[in-house]
Structure 1
């Protein structure tokens, strides 16, 4: 994933456009040919009630779309929703299913057009060719179908607005024909016609059963509202209004069907409907003729039905092409389907493919296409179910997501949407349900699934890490409105946007993705790593190559208690060296400690420094080796007042697997005068040899292991996402991160093995190496003031701060943070912070800054110190942050409220 980018589409759809696209897709042709079946199945009032119930069922599904579409107004709709909730695989299944639904309708409508002409003018059929599944195919029938398909495809190729104009004209005609029927029925109809056909059934139970049958069938006539989210990037309407238009389209479609059923039943009695249904089957058209006492009006209504064919066709062509485009942009389909016309901004390849399929479909005959549509309806219901599930998952996983239209009682709505869509899927499987799929239809579904598996496997193999990426589209309303309100009106405005308590008014500006410049970098890391269990015995042989008298730097007690100091000292003595002990190095070493150790080294004539301990010990040793041969205070070199490229040779023996100090030329010190924590950086303090022995790590207390292990993870994650990252450091990071994530929880929780210790030790050293080149970013920049102020263990400070920094940065580098999330067990970039919090809980480090002694009054000092001392790390960070924004992050980490950034902050 990358950072947010501008949409490639033109925003051309108005509120009216999206309303007619959805409404036109839902009313189609079915109301012309099926009204008699509905009435005979449930009665006039029973069928009306059935459609109301079915509409309510669909409305619950529509509510989930209404919330998700404005929250993620990006091309592809279901693709984006399911991706954010379920990751690439779930998104592939959902979008591939909805594409089948769309393509099947487009192909069917290509056959419906000449079929309706046949109804109007039977002599139209000329030039018999062949028969498919009992359906006779004629040359004239094929010509009309192919020509119409070509025209509809061409209209869409000419741009979304052209298609919307066509949709508007035809939908007005359909609506006009329907309204004419409804109004005329009130004058020409009679309550007497309703007698005996209000409900169907000899008992209340039987009537209710028939109502439910109509209700269970009716949702299939409402498929089409979901085209709106497919074209969300092309809509030029306030986001909240998109949701309202989507829901209004469902309400209008339900009302239309219900009123048409009433009009037919009010004009025609049961016997007339039965005769019409067994005759030409165009009961609604016959009702129109009776209402106006003119057979000409029947043809007028049929023309309205013809318009319904085209509106459905047009809508689903828009939806299908956008779904294919969105998959191609995620490299789930060949990228050619993700190209847009430069002039009209229409997805050319996707439209052409669906258009060609709609031209070829008529050759299979109408019966075959009925099977395809049934299979497509099942696929749509499956996609609806996955969207409903995504709705619930995202409410749990991303509660802070800005939702311009937020559904109340989301648990109930989500349950109903999942239940309703799931029930529709099940109906296709239950014999006798009225929607049961035939074997040939199941074979079509399995065939489509098989094609999907092929695309999935081939694209994943061919495009590798690009597969399943999602470019987030910058949206001014989502990214700018809340910020502007917060800036202009303060915390109350921000709270009004998000529903959260007032926060500091912040301005995290979003920018379109910039074109990445040509790769250009340097990589130099002269580190001699000696790795292996039992290698501590070689300490003397290594050190004697660089001097004859060693200053052994260690802590006050741990190395002595564990016996490691004795092992190293004895090894040095066996190699013929003299040794001097400096055991005053402390956690978060002070500059004064480095100066004291340097004085001892000079006094004793030491010519090599050997460190035995964790990161603080190794940093202290580096400072001592540097200060021992350079004049003045080490602080002058840390702050750049002086410079030098000299130090005593260093041999480092880490006893903790976390800081990685053995792999770089950094040494972090705290200035006791002002609490500043800043690093000395110099090639001369890169160790001549680092002896990494996993057995030396095993004496660590579990709490220490958790802290240093998490520090190592942060090194790799920050180096991977830093501005200074290189392909080499990326490769090392991606190798090391899973080693830590997979082994640290086991080691902390007592599930130890030599292999796990080896992997964690390797990863820790790699962490030090990569930050030596790529550097660290926001989490380390913010943590150094914390441990400088309160002498907090570095890894604990990172544990409190890192999740909120991930919430900020994941939106700036979605590709890399998405990859990190997947390594850690998540799916999208937003999962990264969540999975890190999960890891912290697993290793017992789910702490807040308050737990570490930080108070609200400290946050301003911390922010000021961070800006002053860690400017380079902040510059290296994916997101550019102001002083006030950093202070707010400290406050969020202090409270530890799920360690997530409320959307009022608009990070």
Structure 2
């Protein structure tokens, strides 16, 4: 099954998701509604009612817990219902819950300035107009809009920033609540409780009173469902997420119950009646009485204001992620799947919901009460559909990995469906006490019509893509199934804050049949090392360097002493062409050569590999490069590198350029792995400095790319890290003429290792994007990498923070974000800093390079820690200009 890598950053800790859910549920209701709850059911009756309501939500929460751990993907309900009911069911479910989230966000924008009027009655200034009996003032409107802008800005800045705000505010709420509870115990009197323990004068009326509280309590627990919306951003083992979700519900029930008890313990029935007839804020008045200070009532109101913001913040997180998930499935316009380039938040969805919250106060508080009621109906409908999905998937997909597996799923599922269905019914049935009024039905209906429009338009526009879905890849070790009960949830937060996640079981293949003869002076043994593989050698070189350095004569003499005849092919240039390789193969066949000896850098070695391959295999080499033809035969190869960078001596790649279309791509075959690679550091020491800089950085790129590759493995990781440390400690020294032969040996060894690791782990986007550039303009490969790599690292480090940070530390940095800067400093030290413009490329070349990259470097693109589209690759080219 096709899977994708998450585009989100995993920034939420266990504590973050607990406070996001808990903060969403406690909100402002405990400040304004406690007196009403006590009036409905009595103190103990209201507590029991909240417990019953909590149990109702608890069963729904259990279904969410299992499904979230099983499918930890952005959108939560969208994914659950899609798997169970298909695209249509998923559309209805997700669209319904988005209404709930958006309505709360908009309502809270109005609630905050309304509360300020309780603290400062003179706050309202500049009367503007009245909507549905609600007077709107300029001061009220200004505060609402400014705070709405701020909350939206915080969420765009990053999920972790929003979570930090949530933590601060939730701690304040909890602290204020604890103050009230403790003070009520000290200042209260049990005699206040006795006359108001229960409402009603008989068992039946008492039970009816309790149920009247229980019926409306689930609406105060809406918010735990934000956790699955942000599941891709949670850095917590999957099996713990479900526990934390259940814990958040239990904590919310306990909070409400204790507040009710505290108020009832400190406030007599007459006190509560007087408070409701006055300010209406019974909880605030209870705080004032408990502390014998009117100031403390305002302290409690400030805590309530924090509750407004926590709900606001949580539902903005949830709503934006739900919209992202629908856009990802082509159910609403694709613009809503756009993530902020830096902060990885669904920026366009946040702009929309945040914009609505800025505009919402213009319509007044009464209008938004209707919207919230309609939104609560949407949430309850989504709960019912998720509960149904829970049952359906237990039947439909029993093999699905469920890290948090609920026991007795039939009982849990049926109760969740019945209870959430009951909540939906209460909104629909006239006279239920919670049924929607005509204005609220108009709100819900308007939202439904908008959904139908999106459904039809997107269905017509995106055709078969509409309703498509790709799962996010999940680490296998996290999918182990365990049955869970609630007791385990109590330790979930502490248990996961410092968790060390178990690494996957080690499972890989490593095959590289190369014989490396490494050491100073080894080149003098070329004849003896070549003798087992042939009697007549084709020596492949560049046009002059091997002769000028005297290395050609050393190799030729060694071959002659071993009784091996030889002929010379010296036509290989930088970025070797497929036509040159074909010419060399014809020359080898014409002269009866049975072994190929290459002396030179990567271009010479790559061309020699292709010559050895074509000397035995018929047909067009491009067919072999693009895997239209295959062969596992080639003449034996002896490679003698003279540059410490390409690593061609350590792998089975031969990078060639097709002069007809500019395609630069690798011939890959185990048959062109060298029989012997003679790696002699002394052969490197005649390199010009500019060549050393270029090939040295190429070697580093091989190691970095293999290390961060998606198909990296333990051997390649270990080798890559060792080689990068060698380069970091010696490249600049060698470039500046320092360090002596020992430093040359280390750089040479690192280069060979670089070639070996990319044979197994491959290269990533830097090489993938450089090949079109050098294929088009025949630029020096290392210079192309120098222009591109820092920019690509900046775009890619989010795909594997751990590994990029480890590389950064090798070069003196600390975090993944430091690496690009450290690479730029290194490039300056070896005089290799450049841009693509410096290399002769221009903006006009970008479309061709981006398209060519997608064509010839598909494997490198997929191997990159972050997979970019053609448009994104074009943008990276643009930044490298």
- The TM-score with structure 2 as length reference comes to 0.55
Q: What residue is the counterpart of 2:30 in the other structure? A: 31
Separation in 1 of the partners of 2:86 and 2:337?
20
Name 2:83's counterpart in structure 1.
84
Partner of 1:106: 105
Matches within 5 A, 1:342-421: 342-421=341-420
Deviation at 1:506, TM superposition (A): 11
Matches within 5 A, 1:621-700: none
Please give the alpha-carbon distance, in whole angstroms, between the structure 1 residues aligned to 2:413 and 2:132.
41
Map of 1:530-545 to 2, 5 A cutoff? none
Where 2:224 maps in the other structure, the secondary structure is coil
Is 1:229 matched up with 2:218? no
Residue in 1 that maps onto 2:462: 463
Q: Is the 8 A contact 1:402 1:478 kept in 2?
A: no
Post-superposition shift, 1:66?
A: 0.5
Q: Deviation per CA, 1:473-507, whole angstroms, max 9, x where unpaired?
A: 0011467779xxxxxxxxxxxxxxxxxxxxxx999
Write the distance in 1 (CA, Å) between the matches of 2:96 and 2:462: 22
CA distance in 2, matches of 1:473, 1:291: 52
Q: Which residue number in structure 2 is paired with residue 19 of structure 1?
A: 18
1:430 Cα deviation (Å)?
A: 2.1
CA contact (8 A) 1:26 1:253 kept: yes
- Work out whether residues 401 and 480 of structure 2, in 8 Å CA contact, stay in contact via their aligned partners in 1: no
Per-residue deviation, 1:100: 0.1
1:825-883 per-position Cα deviation (integer Å, ceiling 9, x unaligned): xxxxxxxxxxxxxxxxxxxxxxxxxxxxxxxxxxxxxxxxxxxxxxxxxxxxxxxxxxx
Task: Report the CA distance between 1:509 and its aligned residue.
Answer: 9.2
> Once the 2 structures are TM-superposed, how far is the Cα of residue 434 of structure 1 from its aligned partner?
1.9
Q: Match for residue 283 of structure 2?
A: 284
Q: Distance in 2 between matches of 1:480 and 1:190?
A: 52
**Contact between 1:156 and 1:163, CA under 8 Å: does it hold in 2?**
yes
CA distance in 1, matches of 2:325, 2:162: 19
Report if the CA contact (8 A) 2:403-2:480 is conserved. no
Q: Distance in 1 between matches of 2:15 and 2:125?
A: 41
Q: 1:696 maps to what in 2? A: none
Q: Distance between the aligned counterparts of 2:204 and 2:221, measured in 1?
A: 27
Q: Where in structure 2 are there 5+ consecutive unaligned residues?
A: 482-503, 510-630, 632-881
Counterpart in the other structure of 2:582: none
C-alpha distance in 1 between matches for 2:285 and 2:334: 50
Offset from partner CA, 1:334-379 (integer Å, 9 cap, x none): 1110010110000010000000000110000000000000000000
| Distance across 2 between alignment mates of 1:247 and 1:180 | 25
Contact 1:149 1:358 (C-alpha < 8 Å) held by counterparts: yes
Preserved CA contact (<8 Å) 1:142 1:363: yes
Cα displacement (A) at 1:432:
2.7
**Residue 196 (structure 2) aligns with:** 197
Q: Deviations over 1:493-547 (max 9, x none)?
A: xxxxxxxxxxxx999999xxxxxxxxxxxxxxxxxxxxxxxxxxxxxxxxxxxxx
TM-score computed with the length of structure 1 as normaliser = 0.53
Deviation per residue, 1:401-440 (Å, 9 max, x gap): 0000100110110000000000001101223322111001
Are 1:145 and 2:144 matched, yes or no? yes
**Is the Cα–Cα contact under 8 Å of residues 85 and 390 in structure 1 kept in the other structure?**
yes
SS in 2 for 1:9: coil
Q: Deviations over 1:684-715 (max 9, x none)?
A: xxxxxxxxxxxxxxxxxxxxxxxxxxxxxxxx
The 3-state SS of whatever aligns with 1:137 is strand
SS at match of 1:365: helix
Q: Is the 8 A contact 2:238 2:478 kept in 1?
A: no
Show the counterpart of 1:128.
127
Corresponding position of 1:269:
268
| Matches for 1:545-694 after TM superposition, within 5 Å | none
Q: 1:209, CA displacement in angstroms? A: 0.3
Asked whether 1:436 is paired with 2:435, we answer yes
Distance between the aligned counterparts of 2:479 and 2:210, measured in 1? 49
SS at match of 2:405: coil
CA distance in 2 between counterparts of 1:377 and 1:89 reads: 21
The CA deviation at 1:305 is 0.2
User: What secondary structure sits across from 2:130 in the alignment?
Assistant: strand
1:42 is aligned to 41
| Distance in structure 2 (CA, Å) of the matches to 1:192 and 1:480 | 54
Distance 2:228 2:480 in 1: 21
Are the counterparts in 2 of residues 333 and 459 from structure 1 also a CA contact under 8 Å? Answer: yes
Asked whether the 8 Å contact 1:193–1:268 carries over to 2, the reply is yes
| Cα deviations by residue, 1:46-94 (Å, 9 ceiling, x for unpaired) | 0000000000000000000000001000000000000000000000000
- Distance in 1 between the 2:336 and 2:428 partners? 33
SS in 2 for 1:422: helix
How do 1:829-868 and structure 2 match up within 5 A? Answer: none
Quote the residue 1:447 is aligned against: 446
What secondary structure is seen at the aligned counterpart in 2 of 1:131? strand
Whether the aligned pair in 2 keeps the contact of 1:36 and 1:277 (CA below 8 Å) is yes
Cα 1:479–1:22 change in 2 (3 A) is: closer
Gaps of 5+ in 1: 483-504, 511-639, 641-907
2:428 is paired with a residue of what secondary structure? coil
Question: Residues 66-77 of structure 1 correspond to what in structure 2 (within 5 A)?
Answer: 66-77=65-76
Q: Distance in 2 between matches of 1:355 and 1:443?
A: 23
**Inter-partner Cα distance in structure 2 for 1:275 and 1:49:** 25
Aligned residue number for residue 6 of structure 2: 7
Q: Which residue of 2 aligns with 1:178?
A: 177
Tell whether the 8 Å contact from 1:239 to 1:477 is kept in structure 2 after alignment.
no
Residue of structure 1 in register with 2:259 after alignment: 260
Secondary structure in structure 2 of the residue aligned to 1:475: coil
Tell me how far apart the structure 1 counterparts of residues 468 and 478 of structure 2 sit (CA, whole Å).
Answer: 21
* Paired position in structure 2 for 1:56: 55
Going from structure 1 to structure 2, the CA distance change for 1:139 and 1:412 (only over 3 Å counts) comes to: same
SS at match of 2:179: helix
Q: Which residue of 2 aligns with 1:116?
A: 115
Preserved contact between residue 185 and residue 262 of structure 2 (Cα < 8 Å) = yes
1:202 is paired with a residue whose SS is coil
